[in-house]
């Protein structure tokens, strides 16, 4: 494993363990499976574990794994204050204490303000006294480093960077999103201030692997490097020395081992002009196919009317990146055959989901478009026929 330093010179592994995508079984996290994967990560030198108050069951699971195996001191925990839920000063402490309890620890190594999109988010917290609160927590050792995760545009990101002496930050960044959100300009601005940058969505929620169009997959397969699609995504990031740590939502031993292998042999600045031409070509192919720039982060969920927004967009994009029938079939099976289907037609247009979407997707409009494409008459008839006979 290779490491890059945080602001105080402490090593952070190039690959960080994203604990948002632990495998679920019967609606709950499969603890035994997650435990094996996290322990393998620790064994391979991964020392950064990212979770959040809002990742249902993730903090509890990580806390239990570390406590049961007596390895809290081998890892850094990064977790997040759900700042968008904080309405008064007392709630800051309430959320934090709840997180300590869930994680079975008395300190957090890297504490983030979750999902800033505007400097106003930070101003609101300052009005509630967060600056004194941080100072006290740092003094007592309950928080070692303070940062924020971000989903707005580049100029706003730089405003937030300049508004406080941050220890680190977390941004969405990958070879397709090079110039959206904080983007390359934001990354370089943070690095210029000596602020370590943790990367989320390095593979756009897996889409740069699973939903690559066939022609892009072929391009990767035929390339002399022999790298996988994931490897292309990760190497692009680590090629930039300004990137400190890349989070990967790992949920198989193979994934943990593969990511650790790449993070052990990659070098900043090693990509060639020919490699960059491959990235450009992949981006061109993706741009031609994609219908909605949804990363599957699920920040828009739950919809109070039961629409499964990310799954709808996933299937919609699949229609164009794989095949129409594949996308429609998956939609009918995964959304339509649940006890309570999550079809886009349930949308009443309240717009609440759009306020939470870091990609600023006009969700209501796109749902209508997706529904039309995903459910032509034969599929609607077939789904209701099947439901009649299989759902009781
Ligand atoms: S706009 Fe539609 S999808 Fe979004 S929260 Fe409201 S009902 Fe749900
Ligand atoms: S619509 Fe937006 S918030 Fe919802 S899953 Fe997609 S990117 Fe995330």
| Tens-binned pLDDT, residue by residue, of the chain (392 aa) | 999 999 999 999 999 999 999 999 888 999 999 999 999 999 999 999 999 999 989 999 999 999 999 999 999 999 999 998 898 999 999 999 999 999 999 999 999 999 887 888 899 999 999 999 999 999 999 999 999 999 877 888 999 999 999 999 999 899 988 877 788 999 999 999 999 999 999 998 787 888 788 899 999 999 999 999 999 999 999 999 999 999 999 999 999 999 999 999 999 999 999 999 999 999 888 877 778 988 777 789 889 999 989 889 988 988 887 788 888 988 887 777 777 788 999 999 999 999 999 888 999 999 999 999 999 888 888 877 776 765 54
What pLDDT does 392 receive?
Answer: 47
CA of 362 to the centre of ligand 1 (A): 11
> Which ligand neighbours the alpha carbon of 300 most closely?
2
Q: Is the CB of 297 under 6 A from ligand 2?
A: yes
How many CA atoms are closer than 13 Å to the CA of 236, on its beta-carbon side?
Answer: 27
The pTM of the full predicted model, rounded to 2 decimals, is 0.78
Tell which atom from ligand 2 comes closest to the C-alpha of 295. 7
Q: Is the CB of 195 under 6 A from ligand 2?
A: no
Q: Report the separation in Å between the CA atom of 127 and the middle of ligand 1, taken as the mean of its atom positions.
A: 31
> Are 92 and 130 spatial neighbours (Cβ–Cβ below 8 Å)?
yes
How confident is the model at residue 112, as a pLDDT?
98
CA-proximal residue: ligand 1, atom 4 (nearest): 353
Write the residue with the smallest CA distance to atom 8 of ligand 2. Answer: 297
Q: Which atom of ligand 2 is nearest to the CA of 301?
A: 4
Which residue puts its alpha carbon closest to atom 6 of ligand 1? 350
Q: Residues lining ligand 1, CB < 6 A?
A: 303, 305, 307, 309, 347-353, 363-364
User: 3-class secondary structure for the chain?
Assistant: CCEEECCCCCEEECEEEEHHHCCEECCEECHHHHHHHHHHHHHCCCCEEECCCCCCCHHHHHHHHHHHCCCHHHCEEEEEECHHHCCCHHHHHHHHHHHHHHHCCCCEEEEEEEEECCHHHHHHHHHCCHHHHHHHHHHHCCEEEEEEEECCCHHHHHHHHHCCCCCEEEEECCCCCCCCCCHHHHHHHHHHCCCCEEEECCCCCCHHHHCCCHHHHHHHHCCCCCCCHHHHHHHHHHCCCCEEEEEECCCCHHHHHHHHHHHHHCCCCCCCHHHHHHHHHHHHHHHHHCCCCCCCCCCCCCCCCCCCHHHHHHHHHHHHHCCHHHHHHHHHHHHCCCCCCCCHHHCCCCCHHHHHCCCCCCHHHHHHHHHHHHCCHHHHHHHHHHHHHHCC
The segment(s) of the chain belonging to CATH 3.20.20.100 are 3-277
Which amino acid residue places its CA nearest to atom 2 of ligand 2? 357
The confidence score (pLDDT) of residue 131 equals 97
Give the ligand whose atoms come closest to the C-alpha of residue 293. 2
Q: How far apart are CA 212 and CA 210, in angstroms?
A: 6
Q: Is 298 in the pocket of ligand 2 (CB under 6 A)?
A: yes
Q: Say what the pLDDT of residue 245 is.
A: 98
Residue nearest to atom 2 of ligand 1 (CA): 347
Ligand 1: centre distance to CA 343 (Å): 11
- Tell the residue number behind the tokens 């717009």, with chain if given: 351
Q: Enter the CATH code of domain 3-277.
A: 3.20.20.100
Residue 312 near ligand 2, beta carbon < 6 Å: no
Q: Is 309 in the pocket of ligand 2 (CB under 6 A)?
A: yes
| pLDDT given for residue 296 in this prediction | 76
* Confidence at residue 183, expressed as pLDDT on a 0 to 100 scale: 87
Which atom number of ligand 1 is nearest to the Cα of residue 363? 4
């Amino acid at each position: 494993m290779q490491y890059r330093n945080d602001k105080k010179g402490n090593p952070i592994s190039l690959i960080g363990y994203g604990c948002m995508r632990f495998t679920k079984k019967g609606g709950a996290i499969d603890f035994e499976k997650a435990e094996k994967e996290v322990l393998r990560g620790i064994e391979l030198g991964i020392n950064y574990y990212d979770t959040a108050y809002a990742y249902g069951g993730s903090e509890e699971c990580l806390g239990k794994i570390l406590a049961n195996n007596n390895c809290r001191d081998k890892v850094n925990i990064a977790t997040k204050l759900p700042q968008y839920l904080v309405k008064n000063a007392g709630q800051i402490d309430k959320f934090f204490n709840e997180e300590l309890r869930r994680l079975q620890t008395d300190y957090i190594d890297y504490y983030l303000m979750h999902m800033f999109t505007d400097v106003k988010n930070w101003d609101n917290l300052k009005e509630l006294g967060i600056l004194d609160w941080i100072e006290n927590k740092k003094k007592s050792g309950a928080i070692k480093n303070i940062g924020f995760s971000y989903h707005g545009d580049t100029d706003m990101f730089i405003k937030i960077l300049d508004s406080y002496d941050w220890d680190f930050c977390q941004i969405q960044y990958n070879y397709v999103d090079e110039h959206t959100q904080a983007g390359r300009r934001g990354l370089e601005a943070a690095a210029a201030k000596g602020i370590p940058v943790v990367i989320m969505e390095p593979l756009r929620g897996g889409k740069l692997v699973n939903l690559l169009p066939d022609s892009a997959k072929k391009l990767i397969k035929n390339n002399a490097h022999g790298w996988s699609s994931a490897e292309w995504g990760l190497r692009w990031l680590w090629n930039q020395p300004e990137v400190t740590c890349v989070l990967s939502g790992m949920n198989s031993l193979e994934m943990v081992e593969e990511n650790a292998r790449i993070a052990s042999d990659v070098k900043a600045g090693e990509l060639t002009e020919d490699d960059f031409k491959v990235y450009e070509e992949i981006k061109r192919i993706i741009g031609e196919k994609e219908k909605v720039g949804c990363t599957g982060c699920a920040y828009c969920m739950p919809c109070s009317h039961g629409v499964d927004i990310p799954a709808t967009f996933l299937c919609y994009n699949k229609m164009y990146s794989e095949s129409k029938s594949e996308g429609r079939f998956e939609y009918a099976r995964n959304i339509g055959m649940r006890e309570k289907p999550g079809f886009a037609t349930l949308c009443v247009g309240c717009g609440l989901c759009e306020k939470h979407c870091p990609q600023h997707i006009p969700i209501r409009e796109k749902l209508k478009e997706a529904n039309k494409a995903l459910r032509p008459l034969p599929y609607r008839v077939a789904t209701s026929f099947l439901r009649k006979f299989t759902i009781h």
